[in-house]
Each structure stands twice: as C-alpha cells, then as structure tokens.
Amino acid sequence: MARRAAAVRRIGILTGGGDCPGLNAVIRAVAKTAMNVHGIEVFGIRDAFRGFVEGDGKLLGYGDVSGILTQGGTILGTSNKHNPFHFPAERGGKKVFRDMTRTLLANARRWRLDACVLLGGDGTMNIGTKLTALGLPVVGVPKTIDNDLAETDVTFGYDTAVACVTDAVDRIHSTAMSHHRVMVIETMGRYAGWIALKAGVAGGGDIILIPEIPYDLAKVVEKVRERSRTGRRFSIVVVAEGAKPKKGSLTVERVLTDSHDPIRLGGVGAKLASEIEKASGLETRYTILGHLQRGGCPTAYDRALATRFGYHAMELVAAGRFGRMVCLKGDTITSVPIAKAVARLKLVPRNHPLIRAAKALGTCFGA
C-alpha cells in the first residue's frame, strides 16, 4: 500500500533550459515514485516557466509517464527564455520584461501544489533558489549535457552527448584518412570542456582544445605538420565551442537578450579550420555537431542515473527537505543546497587525469 507524505499531496514538475537525453527518465521516476510509494499526485507544467506563469499544465496519470524511459527530449516541453523574474512580454510593439513571480505563485496555489521538482541546469537551479526564498518548496535535479554543474560528479545527459560526439569522431576519421585532410569537429560545452575532452580522448583526437586551456595556434599548426611529415597524412581536431586562443576572445555566434545566458557561442570550428589551412597549407574541413549532441535516446548509463536522481528527488520531497538538489558523489546519490550547486561552474582542471593520460599518448592541447 502506498504511504502518503504528511504535508505533500500534490507536486508540480517542469523541465527547464535546453532539452537533454534522460529528462523523460527523470519525469518517469519522480512520477512513479510519487504515485506508487507516497500516494502523491503529480502535475506536469508545460514548457518550463512559460507554462508556470501562463497557467499551462495538466495532472499526470500513470499512463502519461509509462513507456517514456527511452525517449529523448521531454514530454513536458521546455524553454530557456522564460525566467519568471525577467519574463518577456510585448507592450506597444516593443519587447519588455516583467517580474511575474506573483502570477507564478498564484498558479501554484490554484493548482494546489505543495512543492515542485525542477529539472534543469544552472539557470533553472538559480530560479529554484529564488522561488524557495519566496516560499515555494523546491527540489532540484541537475540536467545538462555540459556536465558543468558544481557539486555533482556527473549530470544526466552528459554520457549520451559524449557517446554521440565519439561516434561522430569515429565516422569522420574514415573521411580524414581517405582524403588526407585535417578535420575539425566543434562540440558543445559553453565554458566547460568536459564533452570535448572525454569524446576527444575516446575518439582518438590528435588535438583537443577546451575553454580551460587557451590554445596557441602555432602549436596546433605544428602538430598537424608534424603528423604530415611523419606519414600520418590526416589529423583530427576536437574543439569545444568555448575554446579560445591565447590573448584572444570567444567566438560568439549571436546574442539573445531574452535568455538566461544571452551569449550563443559558435563558429570556432570554422574559424580554426580556416586558420589551420592558411598556416599549414594542408586541406582542412570542419563539422559543427550542434544539436545532434542533445537529441536521441539516452544511453543506459544516463537512463539509470536519471532514474536514481528522480527517485531520490521524490524522497527529498517526501522528507520535506526542500531547497536542495540531488547529486552524484562517487556511486552515492545525495543532495546539496541548490544555492551551493550554482555558486560556481564546474570546469575541467588543467591537471585532470584524462588530460595527463592524453598528453602521455601524444595528444596536443594547444598549450
């Protein structure tokens, strides 16, 4: 028989920020644990805080969360442009921003929500911290393919992204070898190089460039020349979108004023390919993997991690431990204050064991 948490009868759940493999697995775990173990109802909020402010959501039944474990994306939809503290609206034909938290809290009361589970990255978690301070009990679940949330060893979605990039590197290898080219592969990761590092090592990248280690173009060019001189007539360069040259700047694709993170990085792969070809005389091509890294079915690791995160998030709710984010420490699921998790980004240390191992095998990091 299900046991009911004393103070919680219904929770809300939303997915914020970019989509990510494993979101549906977390939704499934939260909802089924709530229904099966605690007798708690689950209210799904559509398109993150857009739906919370505009009153768009529905009570989830068992059938809504069955058969979704392997699906990519999120059945609830998501948005990274609807911060309730800075909510976009139109007035007189112009875009303005308003604090809509009073409306959000009114909807929470109207929906009879006793607590909320927020699935998201640093932006969603920051909002969750502020909502907790306003009296809405919140539990967070860390989601980002970038793996840059502090206080958790791994975020769900990261493993799937790494697998996708590694597969792309494997495929591009054959083209690079056949045509004797330098191939540049641009990955996501914003300001953290976790995806590029792990996938670059797993795919046998000859050069790996990450934001944490500004690169010297001359050293990159020398590496591809050296490989060419010694009979290895191709090179694979894996570059994170946030990588930048020494004394240089980030490559920004565009700026969106209505987003939590307005800077959209992109284009470093094309820029780098052009510079390598010009300086080395070697034919160079580039591939930008983009949103391919965020889509598709989650790996077995991400499905299992997402399931554990969802279950433990619901256990925090049932225990009344709000304002906390579930996290992975070693092989143990625990939790930390959300505010602590978003206090800093988790960046790749320059002496990371994987970097040391790759350097020992001859991988160039451009430094």
User: What is the per-residue pLDDT across 243-301, written as a single tens digit (0 to 9) for each?
Assistant: 999 988 877 776 666 665 667 677 899 999 999 999 999 999 999 999 999 999 999 99
- pLDDT digits over 306-336, tens only? 999 999 999 999 999 999 999 999 999 999 9
**Bridge partner list, 334:** 327
pLDDT-above-70 percentage for the chain = 95
Structural domains for the chain = 10-156+298-341 (3.40.50.450), 158-295 (3.40.50.460)
* C-beta neighbour count of 21 within 10 angstroms: 31
Tokens of 93: 């034909």
R_g of the chain computed on alpha carbons = 22
Question: Which residue in the block uniquely carries the two structure tokens 């975020």?
Answer: 155
Q: Which residues have a catalytic role annotated?
A: 146
Q: Report the predicted TM-score, pTM, of the whole model to 2 decimal places.
A: 0.92
pLDDT per position as a tens digit, 64-91: 999 999 999 999 999 988 999 999 988 8
Q: Which candidate, 81, 69, 90, places its Cα nearest to that of 27? A: 69
